[in-house]
Chain A
């Protein structure tokens, strides 16, 4: 049994940077990664904005040194980039030295290739190599292979927009129970016509820069990203004399059991998830210094989440902001990139501004932090809420 769950490494690639330090610079400089879409030829290109990663697939393949006949989806490419950064950051040279696992997550999997070659597969053999890379577990298997992780506990979670938060949660539980000594956790999702059109039919895509918790918010911007964190047990931290970036202190998952895609008006699921996470962490609400909200900037999410925050924190709501205005909503990766941002907040004692906020929501009087704030932080609570009523909260702390 391990008491603490230490974070000893992290990696990220998103619309605001290709590594941890680039992401941090954008966050403190208020630099958004939202633009018109350039890499997918969609009829919606003038009607939506997205958080796109600059690299083309070819550039990523080259960066990773993959052979020409590889069958990596963009999801897998992004995942490998972020996971390799995390391993390097944690100073891991022999990945099989300890009982190590990989818990990844994705919602779109290899759909980017499937939608591209859907009919072509039938009479053209050229792209059939991608048939096997469609399923959601494929990108995780590829990351394990690229990290040299063999004969290990490797699995994938898909709970829509809360996927990566759940991967972190499972990783933490596996370490606490002593099942594993080290777990690489995270998520990855690329942009695809499938998700763009899916969210379009739900009528929750904004045609301009998304503005979380704003009265006049028009919906979300989709984004693509990948992020991974290395979690290690007390035993490994001690044996390897590891530098600990932060700890996973608490976690909670609950189901809203209200509607397949919408959140309940009072955020029952989110409330339960936050309460559970506080309980696991052994913290009082007043001991939370910053909330990195899910804040997708849809009418429904921000209202439901805001109400849930009020239910948990009462009249003493800590500073909160959503970073979705920077990156867009990166779906299954969101909980992982925001975990990286939470750790950076703890390390640097900063609260990121909730960009694009102009008008107070009329349903409640809580207001997000709108300018960069320097403040000594001990704890950050991060929310991830998804389809299927899936609500997750992870609490990160500076100390054990």
Chain B
């Protein structure tokens, strides 16, 4: 079985992450319940006329993927695998409201076309003329991990050499309103974003973003980490600790081998219990890392966690702002990532320094 490496990254998030030479050097503290992303200059990457027509999700996805391709020194890949929970949701909203407001008349196709979930993957392929395998996973908080799993399967079996994978989601105003109605979004902003974990309230801080990576089965100069394993679960019927233990055993590892536990805590008092079980239990003495106070919650927010863990393993540096406790290991060799959303779609990912 071939090994699988994260060979490059490209990130657009609520922090200034699109510059790969930096690593969370300036932190933006957002005093809002829905965080805007720090936009790169899209015109540097996409012709202005094309950019004007593109949905935000497409723009973010196309640019994040270009950043990743550039860093890997590639113009094309064998496959493109995208994860998105909601697709280009603003266009879905536009099209639904136009149907209702105009009684199904005077509609134009653009927003319908862009609302199709595989639009981002299709546009990336169109942009680089990639005729290879092209899949889009749309399974809530496991959308990105499904892409990762698929790519790993393909690279392990040497069915591809380089695969572009990514997670992308955009904020939709109306959809966010709906999620407020059912208390999935926090009612009030967190004064300082680092207080997210201690908010003791329901719901999360929402956001959007795109995190893309070139995975390959050859290590290259820019390589960040090796992808050791990934597992996804629709629901749990054993405890999250048992499952974490089982995942480690399957990969011939023990708790002591883990130098960083990267958790998807989003500050929702009802569902952070899953993370707390790990951080207060078997991983009490492990360096714990969190990130959703930086990038917000969205279906593919865990792709930011994957970006963060990759950066930590490559740079051997963990920014203060992402530390959930202060164990400060002397080096970072293995990172275990765990994520879930509202108690469903749990994932474990293992990355190793390479």
Contacts and interface: CB of A to CB of B under 8 A. Distances in A.
Q: Taking each of A158, A194, A269, which has the highest tally of chain B beta carbons within 10 Å of its own beta carbon?
A: A158
Interface in A123-138: 128, 131-132, 134-138
B144 to A, nearest CB: 11
A: interface residue count bin: 35 or more
Interface in B65-114: 80, 85-87, 92, 95-97, 99-100, 103-105, 107-109, 112-113
B177 interface: yes
B326 interface: no
A37 to B, nearest CB: 13
A92 to B, nearest CB: 17
Contacts, number: 206
Q: Taking each of B86, B118, B231, which has the highest tally of chain A beta carbons within 10 Å of its own beta carbon?
A: B118
A157 B182 contact: no
Interface stretch (A10-18, A27-35, A305-313, A382-390): A382-390
Contact of A157 (B104, B112, B137): B137
Contacts of A118: 96-97, 100, 174
Contacts of A63: none
Interface string B131-171: 11111111110110010011001101100000000000000
B126 interface: yes
Interface in A18-71: 42-44
A335 to B, nearest CB: 13
Interface string A249-269: 000011111111100000011
A87 to B, nearest CB: 16
Contact of A253 (B103, B135, B344): B135
B104 A44 contact: yes
A140 B143 CA distance: 13
Contact of A135 (B85, B99, B108, B121): B85
Contacts of B137: 155-158
Given A157-B138, A160-B116, A122 B181 contact: yes
A114 B96 contact: yes
Contact of B139 (A42, A136, A166, A201): A136
Interface stretch (B234-242, B270-278, B331-339): B234-242
B139 A156 contact: yes
Interface of A: 42-44, 102, 106-107, 109, 111, 114-115, 118-119, 121-122, 128, 131-132, 134-138, 140-141, 144-145, 149-160, 166, 170, 173-174, 177, 179, 193-194, 197-198, 200-202, 253-261, 268-269, 272, 386-390
13 contacts: A42-B104, A118-B96, A131-B182, A132-B182, A136-B139, A144-B234, A152-B233, A174-B153, A197-B99, A261-B113, A387-B118, A388-B136, A389-B134
